[in-house]
Structure 1
Amino acid sequence: MEIHRSLGKRRLVFPMMLSRLPLPADRRPLIAALAVLLCLVCAAIVLAQVEGERGIAPVAASTDIVIEGVEVDVTGESARDAQQEGWREAQRIAWERAGGPAISDSQLQSLVSSIVIEKEQIGPRRYIATLGVIFDRQRAGSLLGRGGQVSRSAPMLLLPVTVSGGTAIIYEQRNAWQRAWAEFQPGGSRINYVRPSGAGGQSLLLTAGQTERRSRYWWRTILDQFNAADVLIPVARLEYTYPGGPITGRFVARFGPDSRYLDGFTMTAASDEELPDMLRNAVRQLDRIYQRALTSGRLRPDATLDLEGGEVDPALQQLIELGRQLENYDRTQAAPPPAATPDAQTPADQPDTPSASIATYTVQFATPDAQSFDAALSGVRGAPGVRGASVSSTALGGTSVMSVQYAGSLGELAAALSARGFTVQQGSNALLISR
């Protein structure tokens, strides 16, 4: 029923009735066109967040022995002769840095697999360059004492953070710090780096804000996507004296979901042209810091990231088994003995009592923040009868979903969660819980 009041020549219409008013026929195509345009704009915004020049693919890791940053300055009878002499000089310097014994130039040349030109200047009779020398591990390993298997760390997810101008970024856009790690050759390192490219949706998932989160469930979800056991966070804080002028780089080696501090140092670059060299040197020095931490036992995967439990200490396992045996003994002593009847079956003739079957149920839970996410997951896993709980959908600020393995019926699971302080709503084959 239409309700209105006559006020002169105007009609008073209640706001709740506006949706029932028919649109003029001549405006319907315009409204439809605006709706389509709005959808296209929203789609373009979403695509813009994952497209663009973000990804830098890391170089393929090699097990060869790499010596970088070898500087040479030699002369010769011609430009070609000076270059060849510079390469021979770089091989000798690199072999000395690698700790190799004294050998002839011909034998040394047979150990080199390639020469990497980092920077060079060629004159008519002079050669100035910064080179990298790569020795074949199969041939040079026996002379250097590196022929055997080298123990390496667990897979470590690498998140290089750049802080400049008050902004912290990782893969949101291409940057020199990310490029330095992508071009780093970790084959000779004991650290097993997992280096994302940062392309596509990785730039939305791996952000500087993630390094400040402490939730183990969030970290485990990310690490599982990259098959990593823990995370390394090398931080580069770049401070410019003035645009294009001297740059001070403060570098810190951190690791783990708690962003633990290992070591740090400071480097300087005179200009933007020298910045890539400074960052490459910083990467090599941070790699040495991580290797020293691995040797000293400080760099090991965080045990709290193993949410599913994993292997249990044998002594603890024995205590658990002993506790179960005592519980079974007490339950047996408390139960009354069965009445003897003429037709009673002997224990050998009695059929086995089937144990409670384990079923999988869907549980939805409200997750307004990370703390409520952790609390709900811990509360469900601690309920009696729950054999396991895994998150199948995460929605921070909304409703997340988990799959729960429970030894009993859905109603019994609802009662167990209610006893844990949850407000439970039961559906056909799912529960909705909240606090």
Structure 2
Amino acid sequence: MRHSLPLPAWPRPALVFGALLLLCAAGFAVWAQISGERGIAAVAATNDIQVGGIEVDIHGDTGEEARQEGWVEAQRKAWEKIKGPKLSDSQLTSMVSAIVIERERMGPKRYIATLGVVFDRTRASRYLGSEGQATRSAPMLLVPVTFTAGSQLVYEQRNPWQSAWAQYQPGTSRINYVRPSGAGGDSILVTYGQTGRRSRTWWRNVLDQFGAADVLVAIANLEYSYPGGPVEGRFTARYGPDNNYLGSFTMKAADPEQIPAMMTRAVTRLNGIFEAALADGTLRPDPTLNIGTPDLSPAVAQLIAQGRAEQARQRAEAAQRDNPAPTTTTSEPAATPTPTATQAPAAATSYTVQFASPDGAAVDAAIAGVRGAAGVRSAATSSLAIGGTSVMRVSYAGSLEDLAGALRARGFTVRQAAGGLSISR
């Protein structure tokens, strides 16, 4: 006969201590999702015209003299690169705001460098004509994705592709980039998984956080030949909530140390793809992302006002039947209810509504349910917290009590406090 030994009894303090350790570990995991040095702030965008990648190799009597002559030569080459008319060196110097040193080596009598030249747009535009006054796109949220070693990286940690876009100066670009820093909640809100979602409501909530009209996805797929060897990068441009393809190209770096330089060049080429798509009309904000409630036409507004007037008349008649006026001896005929005159729609008021948001589907359902309530003009999230409690701003033609009643009619459980509402199902 087999006998089983009794399991040792754990002391109650040990169990409590173990539970606390697990809670601390879980809290640390959540904190680690948004902590760490992952943010890279984008350089301040200016309207100046920046031309990079200008290579010079100049000889002179001294290294400093060769350097000065190299800068003048860089101004000429940069001006030719943007197809400016022939001007003297003094005219070009008067338009240059800065010289950006990308890489340089200076010897006793020689200067070799790769430079960037920044022209003041106000002064240069009169020579460049329409090229200096090109129409820019709507604000576009940029999502830089890196594929490497079977993983997809956006803002989860600092990376060369994120850095290349953060350092890019889009003064000459027709694309109005919105570049998140990647710090704080950006690493949770903007992920590679987000590019695969098709929900317009979900995308509108993300875009509203950054003040963008649509999204651009820049993908860098890196393939390493062997440790320390050549690296091939395939770069792809996509846009919109449907992740539409725009174009792609391939570049190579001799070794991993050359990856940042390769990505800097890739950013410029991808910008060219985005600009070409804008020029041919492909890169336009998706109209399905504009999910706000449209303004009512005057005819529809008048019909709504007439309906409300009729409802008011019927309520008045019902109240008169339930509470008849006392009989009087006056010979004057009793006044009959007069239909309420047609009035303009009541002005909308903005209210705060809190709701539980365990996942994206719950957010979509809550917003759709609130928008379907009678009298609601618009509803959009003002604070999004997946796995917690989110907040939306609701524009409603009526009082807070009326809004609560309309939401209850939609099947919500409504609690009113502190000038706002909290809803659940």
* TM-score when normalising by structure 2: 0.78
After superposition, where does 1:101-250 map in structure 2 within 5 Å? 101-145=85-129, 149-250=133-234
CA–CA separation in structure 1 for the residues paired with 2:108 and 2:345: 88
Alignment of 1:251-266 (within 5 A): 251-266=235-250
Is contact 1:50-1:201 (8 Å) kept? yes
**1:162 touches 1:237 (CA, 8 Å); kept in 2?**
yes
Residues 345-364 of structure 1: pairs in structure 2 closer than 5 A: none
Q: Which runs of 5+ in 1 are unaligned?
A: 1-9, 12-17, 332-336, 419-423
Equivalent residue of 1:160, what SS? strand
Counterpart amino acid of 1:198? G
In 2, Cα distance between equivalents of 1:174 and 1:227: 23
Residues in 2 aligned to 1:356 and 1:89: alpha-carbon distance in whole angstroms: 67
C-alpha deviations, 1:319-369, integer Å up to 9, x for none? 7468769989999xxxxx9xxx93335959x89999999899998877675
Checking the alignment, whether the CA contact within 8 Å between 1:138 and 1:147 is kept in structure 2 is no
User: Of the candidates 345, 367, 387, which is equivalent to residue 377 of structure 1?
Assistant: 367
Q: Deviations over 1:198-224 (max 9, x none)?
A: 122222222111111122222222222
Q: Which residue of 2 aligns with 1:343?
A: 334
**Closer, same or farther: CA 365–63 of 1 in aligned 2, 3 Å:** closer
**Offset of 1:107 from its aligned partner?**
2.3
Change (3 A) 1:212 1:227: same
CA distance 1:292–1:85, change in 2 (3 Å): same
1:56 aligned partner? 40
Distance 1:398 1:44 in 2: 17
Q: Is the 8 A contact 2:305 2:343 kept in 1?
A: no
Alpha-carbon distance change, 318 to 363 in structure 1, aligned in 2, over 3 angstroms: closer
Q: Percent identity?
A: 52
Following superposition of structure 1 onto structure 2, how do residues 389-400 of structure 1 map, counting pairs within 5 Å? 389-391=379-381
- Following TM superposition, by how much is the alpha carbon of 1:78 offset from its aligned partner in structure 2, in angstroms? 2.2
- The Cα RMSD (Å) is 4.3
CA distance in 2, matches of 1:244, 1:185: 30
Counterpart of 1:417 in structure 2 is: 410
Where do 5+ consecutive residues of structure 2 fail to align? 312-316, 318-331
Residue pair 1:388, 1:406 contacting (<8 A) in 2 also: no
Shift in alpha-carbon separation, 1:363–1:244, aligned structure 2, 3 A: same
Please tell me whether the aligned partners of residues 121 and 132 of structure 2 are also in contact (alpha carbons under 8 angstroms).
no
Shift of the 371–319 alpha-carbon distance from structure 1 to 2, 3 Å rule, reads farther
Could you tell me whether the CA contact under 8 Å between 1:170 and 1:207 is conserved in 2? yes
**Cα distance change of structure 1 residues 89 and 412 upon mapping to structure 2, 3 Å threshold:** closer
Residues 1:301 and 2:290 aligned together: no
Contact 2:302 2:342 in 1 (8 A): no
How far apart are 1:132 and its partner, in Å?
A: 0.7
Map residues 283-298 of structure 1 onto 2, 5 A cutoff: 283-298=267-282
TM-score by length of 1: 0.76
Contact 1:414 1:431 survives alignment (8 Å): no
Cα deviation, 1:282-336, whole Å, max 9, x if unaligned, reads: 1111112212222222222222222223567xxxx377468769989999xxxxx
Q: 1:222 to 1:329 in 2, by over 3 A?
A: closer
Higher mean C-alpha displacement, 44-53 vs 83-92: 44-53
**1:359/1:300 CA distance change after superposition, 3 Å:** closer
Contact 1:162 1:170 in 2 (8 A): yes
Aligned to 2:329: none
The 1-side partners of 2:63 and 2:204 are apart by: 56
Which residue matches 1:421? none
Distance between the aligned counterparts of 1:353 and 1:137, measured in 2?
53
Q: CA deviation at 1:125?
A: 2.1
Deviation at 1:148, TM superposition (A): 6.9
Give the conservation status (yes or no) of the 8 Å contact 2:306–2:342.
Answer: no
Among 74, 78, 87, the alignment partner of 1:94 is 78
Residue 153 of structure 1, CA deviation: 1.6
CA distance in 1, matches of 2:407, 2:94: 72
Q: 1:64 to 1:211 in 2, by over 3 A?
A: same
